[in-house]
Amino acid sequence: MRKWPKGQPLLALTAYDYPLGRILDEAGVDLIHVGDSLGMVVLGMPDTTEVTMADMIRATGAVARGRKRAMISADLPAGSYDTAEACLKNSRELLAAGADAVKPEGGEESRSQWEALGKAGIPWVGHLGMLPQKVREEGGYKRKGKSPDEVKKLIQEAKGMEKAGACAIVLELVDPEASAEITKSVDVPTIGIGAGKGTTGQIRVTHDLLGLTPWFKPGFVKKDLGFAGKIAAMVKGFRKSGSAGLG
């Protein structure tokens, strides 16, 4: 995964299949992320914790077949990197499927895993702040970096990730002021989601932006394209016109 020029904005969006991966690539997105968010927006799961390696490998391969120029990162799903050995094994499988980098969640508690990735020369993206894979443990999606101690810890972890070889760091639901401080403390790009405008770049779940999941809309998605309503209107139109409407 190539180094990102400091100060240059970075746009990252998610994809889980060939058509969307190809569309995003041809549109000029910088980074396509194959997220374990597919559990919620594609597979109908309540959260990301039950996504498997098989799910991630299949989705990564599909996206990679539509990509010509954008970088691809892929999530290591919950339970796939409990040890450094498992982390390396499963990361290599995602790279073989077409990913350029992998993303484990967690700071200090995952240090042995991300240090192992760095030593093995496997490109990886860090993930700090709210950790979706721990949503059940924490009892919800809670904002991080609201106290001085939390900010200090996040900065230390970000610096540790950079030292261990992270090529970027995702900051999810981190207080905007804290996100800006973290971004200034490291040379690798930070990618925010619900973390304010002080990060190097932003990432969003594409299905949220398209409006394909109207039953769940994150607070940081201010406007979507309303595709769910458009699809419903199209189907109703076909129903009114009968089979001729499909011609």
Q: Which CATH number fits domain 10-210: 3.20.20.60, 3.30.1360.40, 3.40.190.10, 3.30.300.30?
A: 3.20.20.60
Mean pLDDT check: name the lowest of 7-16, 106-115, 181-190: 7-16
Gap between the Cα atoms of 77 and 56, Å rounded = 7
In percent, how much of the chain has pLDDT > 90? Answer: 81
Using the CB atoms, write b or e for 136-160: b if 16+ within 10 Å: eeeeeeebbbeeeebbebbbebbeb
Per-residue pLDDT of 61-98, as tens digits, reads 999 999 999 999 999 999 999 999 999 999 999 999 99
In percent, how much of the chain has pLDDT > 70? Answer: 95
Domain ranges of the chain: 10-210
Gap between the Cα atoms of 212 and 207, Å rounded = 5
Look-up of token digits 């769940």: 216
Mean per-residue pLDDT, 146-175: 96
Gap between the Cα atoms of 41 and 205, Å rounded = 9
Under 8 Å between Cβ of 51 and 81: no
Please say if the pLDDT value at position 3 is more than 70: no
Per-residue pLDDT of 107-122, as tens digits, reads 999 999 999 999 999 9
* Highest-confidence segment of 3-7, 13-17, 140-144, 234-238: 13-17
Active site residue 172: yes
Of the pLDDT bands very low, low, confident and very high (cuts 50, 70, 90), residue 246 is low
Assigned token pair, 126 = 């860090």
Query: What pLDDT score does 14 carry?
Result: 98
The more confidently predicted of residues 219 and 203 is 203
Mean per-residue pLDDT, 22-50: 96
Query: What pLDDT score does 212 carry?
Result: 93
Query: What pLDDT score does 121 carry?
Result: 96
Q: Let me know the angle formed at the C-alpha of 92 by 29 and 57, rounded to the nearest 5 degrees.
A: 60
Assigned token pair, 160 = 């540790």
Mean residue pLDDT of the chain comes to 92
Of the pLDDT bands very low, low, confident and very high (cuts 50, 70, 90), residue 159 is very high
Please say if the pLDDT value at position 216 is more than 60: yes
Gap between the Cα atoms of 56 and 52, Å rounded = 6
Query: What pLDDT score does 247 carry?
Result: 58
Please say if the pLDDT value at position 21 is more than 70: yes
Gap between the Cα atoms of 44 and 61, Å rounded = 21
From the candidates 93, 105, 172, 181, which is the catalytic residue?
172
Please say if the pLDDT value at position 243 is more than 70: no
